[in-house]
Amino acid sequence: MGLQDAGRALSKQEPGSPENKRRLRLESGTGSRGSRRDSSFPATPLGHSLEEAARRRQEMLAKAQAARALQLARQQEIRVGEEWSELLKVPSNRTPDTMLNFWEEVKMRLLKRFGSLHSAIQSSGESSVSFLKFCDLLRVIHFPLNQSTCRHLFSQVCAGHREMPVDSFKALLMERTIQSMRFIMEGWNGKQVRLQSHIRTFIRRLAEVDASHRFAAVDRLQRKLSASFLQDFWQLLLKRLGSSRSEDLTVTQSSLLRVLVDPEATAVFQDQEVLYMLRVFERMLTFRKSLGLSSSEAFLPLRYYLAGLVLISAIPTKKEKLALIFEAFDSDYDHCLLYSQVHEMCHCICVLKVMVEESARGASEETFQAELSQQEGLRWYESIRWHLQRTGGVQGDIVSLPELFAALDTQPGLLLLPGLVRFRWAAEASEGEDLEEAVAAAAAELRQAVRGDLTAAIRILCCFFSMELVIYLRG
């Protein structure tokens, strides 16, 4: 009760009393100071300032750690460089494996310092590296080699010349990368080759189960020999044997093998079809004497070989066959033949027609058969020429393809080209045939050549795209 009465007594005091005035003065002074402090110093959240300070501390710590790591890496590079310097002072330590590791270390340091070999070596656009620049590069990447060691390494790369070609230096630095890429690509190519070999072997065994399957395989090959197919095969032969048909190109068994096992040819020829094509070529070679060639040399002119393929092909009309043979004998691309070339074409067709038809009129004695073919070709040539000069009104010694067609159409009894015949004799191997071994040897030779081309291609790619390849291998 006493406390309540005292509170009521204080509240009933007059406003102007000294106690009330003092209390109001203290409250107003406190409020004004608080308002002035709030207006001049805005409040900042305490959590935000702490986060900012922590972030700055983390950034400073990260910078300090990066600088420390960089210093340690530099000390490590200097230490490793001094070890290499001591190792290479002794000439007996400069073995191929040691030098390969050394150049790999040089390459990695150059990439780390400059970003790419091009920026490190060709910073000024020069095409060669001098001895002074070579020493400066080693010094920049912390390889403190002595003068004699640097001179030996430089002379080893530039082969005694005063300056080192940039491409040679890049190839030397990328040698380990080249080996790695070659291993990867050769492994992939090897898998593809083995897979294709299994597939082709399976198809060949299916095609050679018995005689009927072999005959069907030969018939499929004959249907494949269309006019467009022979044109493409002709272009492939020109690409591999010579630049143009104006050259007097010849076909041998080895050159034909290289073409038939070529990747462009294996895409269209099965393994058994390669053997059939070789047997057709071998059969054509038996008519060398009838064709007026030396019997001691195993080759055929390309135009004769193409004429034989046209004769055994499945081209439906004789005009299409004759047009393709006419183009094969047209060596100067003028769509015309001289009378001498027409005579040669007629002779070639008459000789190879015996092979195609397996005619019973063919003589067993080679010399007598050669004479028969020569006389028949001469008779056809004289009939064509007589018509061209007397009836066709052809002037000069040049004959075009339409004029040749007109001469044959007006003489129906002139059966120059054979019809569609089968050459199933190509399905059977002759006695003592060694074509299987020849095909295997040609395929092995091609794989070796492809491996060399692959190495050269990888070397070029590594020289121009060194940084990208290193990043790829690291990944």
Lowest mean pLDDT among 35-39, 244-248, 282-286, 338-342: 35-39
Taking residues 260-287, what's their average pLDDT?
82
Residues 417-441: b if buried by 16+ CB within 10 A, e if exposed = bbeeeebbebbeeeeeeebeeebee
Closest by Cα among 473, 462, 294, 466 to 370: 294
pLDDT digits (tens, 9 = 90+) for 194-235: 787 788 788 888 888 888 988 999 999 999 999 999 998 888
Per-chain mean pLDDT for the chain: 76
Predicted confidence at residue 1, as pLDDT, reads 45
Predicted confidence at residue 413, as pLDDT, reads 66
* Cα dihedral 411→415→416→420 (10° resolution): 140
CA distance 311 to 303: 12
Taking residues 13-26, what's their average pLDDT?
52
Predicted confidence at residue 309, as pLDDT, reads 92
**DSSP H or E run through 30:** helix 18-40
Residue 325 has pLDDT above 80, yes or no: yes
Q: How confident is the model at residue 467 (pLDDT cuts 50, 70, 90)?
A: very low
394 φ/ψ sector (left φ>0, alpha ψ -120 to 50, else beta): beta
Rounded to two decimals, what is the model's pTM? 0.59
pLDDT digits (tens, 9 = 90+) for 344-361: 998 888 888 888 776 444
Predicted confidence at residue 324, as pLDDT, reads 92
**DSSP H or E run through 252:** strand 250-252
CA distance 429 to 278: 11
Q: Are 463 and 320 in contact (CB under 8 A)?
A: no
- Identify which of 102-111, 132-141, 338-347 has the greatest average pLDDT: 338-347
- The residue extents of the domains of the chain are 59-167, 208-433
Q: How confident is the model at residue 475 (pLDDT cuts 50, 70, 90)?
A: very low
300 φ/ψ sector (left φ>0, alpha ψ -120 to 50, else beta): beta
pLDDT digits (tens, 9 = 90+) for 360-388: 444 556 677 778 888 888 888 888 888 88
pLDDT digits (tens, 9 = 90+) for 178-193: 777 777 777 777 777 7
What is the three-class DSSP state of 418?
coil
CA distance 435 to 277: 11
Predicted confidence at residue 264, as pLDDT, reads 67
One-letter amino acid at 172 equals L
CA distance 277 to 129: 55
pLDDT digits (tens, 9 = 90+) for 59-101: 888 888 888 888 888 888 888 888 888 888 888 888 888 888 8
Residue 276 has pLDDT above 70, yes or no: yes
Predicted confidence at residue 266, as pLDDT, reads 64
Q: What is the 3-state secondary structure (H, E, C) of 68-116?
A: HHHHHHHHHHHHHHHHHHHHHCCHHHCCHHHHHHHHHHHHHHHHHHHCC
Predicted confidence at residue 247, as pLDDT, reads 63
Residue 433 has pLDDT above 70, yes or no: yes
Q: Which comes out higher in pLDDT, residue 116 or 227?
A: 227
Q: Which comes out higher in pLDDT, residue 163 or 296?
A: 163
Predicted confidence at residue 306, as pLDDT, reads 92
Percentage of the chain modeled with pLDDT above 70: 76
Q: Are strands 299-301 and 336-338 parallel, antiparallel or unpaired?
A: unpaired
Predicted confidence at residue 23, as pLDDT, reads 56
Taking residues 445-450, what's their average pLDDT?
62
Residues 171-181: b if buried by 16+ CB within 10 A, e if exposed = bbbbbbbbebb
Q: Are 222 and 422 in contact (CB under 8 A)?
A: yes
Predicted confidence at residue 293, as pLDDT, reads 80
